[in-house]
């Protein structure tokens, strides 16, 4: 049974990789590409998109009074999110070193690029920056939490849980006490292997 579950997880990961390749092809069809980590939009596409930009006055009128009035309640949430960002970063910086775990790379989750789209006005760009930060931090913290859970309590719930993280499917089965002692250590070793794999991919100082 365990081998079948591992095989299904591997197949899911393979399909996720195939999906990402297909999405990359679709993005290229929209007239932009990535070059050395930077977005490059063709001049033709940029000019066409700028022509579709909605002016601020028309945008605010279309948004409605209630959207404008509720905006401060949305933006104020950035304060607890920033605090969560800081504390989670501090936590993994200290504790993951002690546990011997690979630290989560924040830049893989908090990505700012949508504000560069030519068809967005200033307010829309600000909204995109805010959403990228808020959702990126939540995903970043969720990954930190998932590694913590795998280290300390990698056991599935008895009930079906909605929105589980990517590590959850590999956790120990609920009530499988016979597999628990060795399984717990096995889960920790998997995490430590991620750290070693990360070191192997990182070139030495002065390397290419």
Q: Where are the domains of the chain?
A: 64-201
Buried b (16+ CB within 10 A) or exposed e, 129-141: ebebbbebbbbbb
Beta carbons of 86 and 140 less than 8 angstroms apart: no
**Which residue, chain included where needed, has tokens 């501090």?**
90
pTM passes above 0.85: no
Q: For 136-183, what is each residue's pLDDT tens digit?
A: 999 999 999 999 999 999 999 999 999 999 999 999 999 999 888 899
Q: Are the C-beta atoms of 155 and 167 separated by less than 8 Å?
A: no
Q: Classify residue 51 by its DSSP letter.
A: T
């Amino acid at each position: 049974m365990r081998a079948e579950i591992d095989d299904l997880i591997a197949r899911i990961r393979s399909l996720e990789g195939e999906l990402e390749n297909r999405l990359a092809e679709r993005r290229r069809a929209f007239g932009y590409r990535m070059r050395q980590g930077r977005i490059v939009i063709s001049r033709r596409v940029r000019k066409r998109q700028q022509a579709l930009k909605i002016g601020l006055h028309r945008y605010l009128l279309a948004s409605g009074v209630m959207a404008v009035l509720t905006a401060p309640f949305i933006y104020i949430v950035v304060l607890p999110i920033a605090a969560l960002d800081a504390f989670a970063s501090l936590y993994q910086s200290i504790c993951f070193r002690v546990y011997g775990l690979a630290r989560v790379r924040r830049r893989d989750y908090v990505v700012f690029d949508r504000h560069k789209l030519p068809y967005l006005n200033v307010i829309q760009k600000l909204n995109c920056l805010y959403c990228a930060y808020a959702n990126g931090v939540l995903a970043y913290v969720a990954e930190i939490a998932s590694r913590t859970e795998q280290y300390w309590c990698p056991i599935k719930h008895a009930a079906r849980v909605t929105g589980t993280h990517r590590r959850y499917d590999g956790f120990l089965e609920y009530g499988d006490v016979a597999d628990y002692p060795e399984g717990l250590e096995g889960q920790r070793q998997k995490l430590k292997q991620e750290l070693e794999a990360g070191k192997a991919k990182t070139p030495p100082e002065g390397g290419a």
